Structure 1
Amino acid sequence: MALPSRLVYDCLVIGAGIQGSFTAYHLAKNGKRTLLLEQFPLPHSRGSSHGQTRIIRRAYEEEFYTNMMVESYQLWAELEKEAGITLYRKTGLLFFAPSDNEEYESVCKNMEHHKFPWENLTQEQLKAKYPGFVLNPGEAVCLDYDGGVLSADKALRAVQEQFQRMGGLIQDGERVKHIQPGQVVTVTTTADSYQAENIVITAGPWAQKVLSPLSLELPLRTLRINVCYWKEKIPGRSGLLQNFPTFLRVVPDGEIYGLPCREYPGLIKICYHGGNEADPDERELQTKPPQIPDVQILCDFVSKYFPGLHPKPAVMEQCMYTSTPDHNFILDYHPLHKNIVIGSGFSGHGFKLSPLVGKILSELSMGKKPSYDLTPFSIARFKKASL
C-alpha cells in the first residue's frame, strides 16, 4: 500500500535506472525510509539501463576504476544471492589495441598490480581460444579472464524488487516538475508532491533538465547510440557464436565493443562507444546530420576483424548515453545544497559499477564518509560548471 505523500522521507531518489535503483536499495538496506521516483511507467526503454546485456570487466585504464571493480563484483554476487538468480556470466574479455598503445599498457599494468587473472595472447593462442577473431600485424591483445556479461533488464528488476522487499516505495509514471531546496526538500511531480530530508538525482539523459532549475549547469552531453547486431555469412561456419567473449578494441576516435547476444539468437552485438548528440525527449528523431559516422566505422571494423560476419548490421536499435568531457562519472553534492546529491555522466560504462555507485551515493546522502576517493568524480573538476 502506498505511503501518504505528506510523509517526510529520509531520502527521495529521482530516476529509477540502474544507478538510482541501486542507490535506493542501499539506502533501504541502511534503514532509510526511501522513495524512488521514475518519470515513465516501469519497465521502459527510454533511458540508458534497458536491454538484455552489458559488459562487466576488471580491465580498465584508470586504476581507480580497476580498484572499484573489486567491490563491484562482490556486490553483484551479493545481489544474486539475495534474489536467488544469476546475473553474471563469465565469458572472458579481450582487450585489443596497437602494441604501443598507452591505454593498453595501463590496462595490463593495473591487472598485474591487482593480481587479477589475465594474460597476453599471441595470434595462435587467440585463434585457438576464439575462432573467428582476427589479430592484425602490430596489434596486441590481452584476456581479462573474469570479464563477461551482465543480464541488464534482469538486474534492474532484481534490485528494484529487493528495494521493495526492504520497505522501499517506487512511484513510476511521475515526471518531476519542480524541486524546492531547503532543510526539507519538496519535489513536485505531475501527480503529487513529496518531501524528503535528502534527495539523490540520478536522472540519466534528463539530468541537465532536472539540474538547470537548481541553478547548476554541468558539461553533460546526451548521446544517441546505435546498438548494432551482426549476422554470420554462413550460419555456424565462423565459430564465433559457439564461444564468443566480450571485447574492447581501441580505435583512433574511441573504442568499439562487442559481446554475446541474448537479445537476438544467432546474432552478435558489436557497437561503437559513443554517438551523436540528441535531446532525450526526441530520442527517435534525427534532427540534424550525425557528426560521428559510427555505423560506417562499425561496418569497416567488422569487415576487417570478423570476416565471417556480414559487414552490414542485421538489426539496429538505439540507446542513450550521458557523457562528461573526461568520461568519468559525477558523484557529488550540489555545490549550494548539501542535502542534494548528484549521480550523473556515466558515459556508457557505468552499468558494471552501479552496485558500488549506489553505495557511494547512499553514503553521501546519509552524510557518511565515502568508501572511495571521489576526486575523479567531483563537480569542481569542471571549470565551466556554473551556478
Structure 2
Amino acid sequence: MSGERLDVAIVGAGAMGAATAWHLARAGREVAVFERFEPGHVRGASHGASRNFNVAYAEPEYLSWLRDAEVLWRELEAEAGRTLLTTTGIVTHGPGVDHAATAAAITSAGLAAEVLDAREAASRWPGLRFEGPVLHNPTAGRLDADTSVAAFLTGAAVAGAAETRWNTTVSDIEVHGDDDVRFTATDAAGSRRVRARRLICTAGAWTQKTLAGVRGVSLPALRVTQEQPAHFRPLDPAASWPGFNHHPAADDDATSWFAAPVYGMLTPGQGVKAGWHAAGPETDPDRRSFVPDPALTDALVRYVRDWLPGVDATDLAEITCTYTSTVDARFVLERSGPIVVGAGFSGHGFKFTPVVGRTLAALAAA
C-alpha cells in the first residue's frame, strides 16, 4: 500500500462533514473528505429535500446557535446562488410543551414568537387541527437538505484545497501522536495507507464502527434507529403550510397514544411530510431493511387522519432514514488527540449544521 499525507481528513460527506469542510477550506486548510457511498445516497441521515429550521427551543445555548446558524445559512445561500432556507413559519402545539415559557425564551433570545389560541391557528392554517395553545415562530422555515449538502461541498472546493473522495471507505485508524493519525482508505482502485494531521469523524450511523478500538477515543452511547416519515398528498395544492411539531402528553387522552412527538412540513413537489420523532427500531446501518415498520405506518396514518385534515391520509409515499442519538439528545462535539468527533445529532441537528461545522473546524484547528 502506498502512503499519502494530508492536513485534515474528514470521514463522512453528509451535512456535518460537508459543513466542516466548508469552514476549514475557507480558513485556508487543505481538506480531503472521504465518503463510503456515492453522491446523494439515501443510506444515512442527510438526504431528502426538507428539514424544519425550527427555533422552538427553551435552552439559551441552542437559541444562540440558531441565531448564528441563520446568518451562516444565508451566507451559504448567497455564495451558492440558490435558495436553501425558505421562510414558512413553524407551529408547535400539544400538551407536552409549555408554550408560554418557550415563547418567552425565544423572544428573550431575539427571535420571533407568538402564542395563538386554537381557533386563530385553525383559521390561519386549516390544513392542521389544533386543541389548546399554539406557538408560532414566523421567521422559522424549511431547509433543502440535498441542495445544502451539495452547496457546502461545492463551496469548500471553490474556497481552496478541498476535495471529496466518493465511494471510499476508511478503516484501521491508528493514533501515532497529537498531530499524527493514520488510516486505510479503500476505493475501486484498491487500498492505501494515509497519514493526516487531523481526522474528523462525521460518519453518522457508522461513527461507532469507524472509531471502534481507536486509542484515546471514548464515545457516549450512540443508538442508531431507522425512522420512517411519509409524504401525504395535500387536498389543496395551493394551500399554505407551515412546518409543524406536535408534542403529546401521557395524561392527555387525545395524544397519549402517539408513538412519539410528530414533526412535519410541506416538501415542494412531494407533499406534506409527517413523521414520528425517534420512534423507529434500532438497526445496524449496514443491515437495514429499508422497509417501514407497519405498526408505525398504521399509527402515522391514524395521526394524519385525526390531525391533518388538509391531506389525504390514504395517499402516502414512505421514506426511511437513520437517527444516531445520544441518551439526552445532546450533540457529541469532542477532540481526542488528532481525532475530532461530531456525532449523535439525534434527529434535530440539521438546522444547526453550519454552526456544528464551525465548531468541529475550530476543534481541528486547535
Partner Cα separation in structure 2 for residue 313 and residue 326 of structure 1: 35
1:7 is displaced (CA, Å) by 4.6
Candidates 263, 281, 285, aligned match of 1:280 = 285
Paired residues in the alignment total: 346
- 2:58–2:106 CA contact under 8 A, matched in 1: no
Unaligned runs of 5+ in 2: 250-258
- 1:248–1:258 CA contact under 8 A, matched in 2: yes
Partner Cα separation in structure 1 for residue 3 and residue 136 of structure 2: 54
The one-letter code of the counterpart of 1:348 is G
Corresponding residue number in structure 1 for 2:358: 359
Partner Cα separation in structure 1 for residue 163 and residue 309 of structure 2: 50
Corresponding residue number in structure 1 for 2:253: none
- Judged with a 3 Å threshold, the aligned counterparts in structure 2 of structure 1 residues 172 and 296 are, in CA distance, closer, same or farther, namely same
Corresponding residue number in structure 1 for 2:107: 112
Candidates 176, 186, 190, aligned match of 1:182 = 176
The one-letter code of the counterpart of 1:153 is D
1:300 is displaced (CA, Å) by 2.4
Partner Cα separation in structure 2 for residue 188 and residue 63 of structure 1: 41
Partner Cα separation in structure 1 for residue 78 and residue 316 of structure 2: 37
Partner Cα separation in structure 2 for residue 26 and residue 156 of structure 1: 13
1:105 is displaced (CA, Å) by 4.3
Candidates 259, 262, 268, aligned match of 2:265 = 259
The one-letter code of the counterpart of 2:193 is S
- Judged with a 3 Å threshold, the aligned counterparts in structure 2 of structure 1 residues 339 and 172 are, in CA distance, closer, same or farther, namely same
2:32 counterpart SS class:
strand
Residues 221-240 of structure 1: pairs in structure 2 closer than 5 A: 221-232=223-234, 235-236=235-236
Identity of aligned residues (%): 30
- 1:52–1:263 CA contact under 8 A, matched in 2: no
Candidates 31, 36, 56, aligned match of 1:34 = 31
* Aligned: 1:271 with 2:266: no
2:353 counterpart SS class:
helix
- 1:228–1:313 CA contact under 8 A, matched in 2: no
Partner Cα separation in structure 2 for residue 123 and residue 350 of structure 1: 29
- 1:228–1:316 CA contact under 8 A, matched in 2: yes
Partner Cα separation in structure 2 for residue 97 and residue 123 of structure 1: 11
Corresponding residue number in structure 1 for 2:252: none
RMSD: 2.0
1:13 counterpart SS class:
strand
2:358 counterpart SS class:
helix
Corresponding residue number in structure 2 for 1:133: 128
What's the TM-score, normalizing by structure 1?
Answer: 0.84
Partner Cα separation in structure 1 for residue 344 and residue 202 of structure 2: 9
* Aligned: 1:88 with 2:85: yes
The one-letter code of the counterpart of 1:223 is T
The one-letter code of the counterpart of 2:155 is Q
- 1:185–1:196 CA contact under 8 A, matched in 2: yes
Corresponding residue number in structure 2 for 1:384: none
2:65 counterpart SS class:
helix
What's the TM-score, normalizing by structure 2?
Answer: 0.89
Residues 291-370 of structure 1: pairs in structure 2 closer than 5 A: 293-312=295-314, 314-334=316-336, 338-367=337-366
Higher alpha-carbon deviation: 274-283 or 105-114 = 105-114
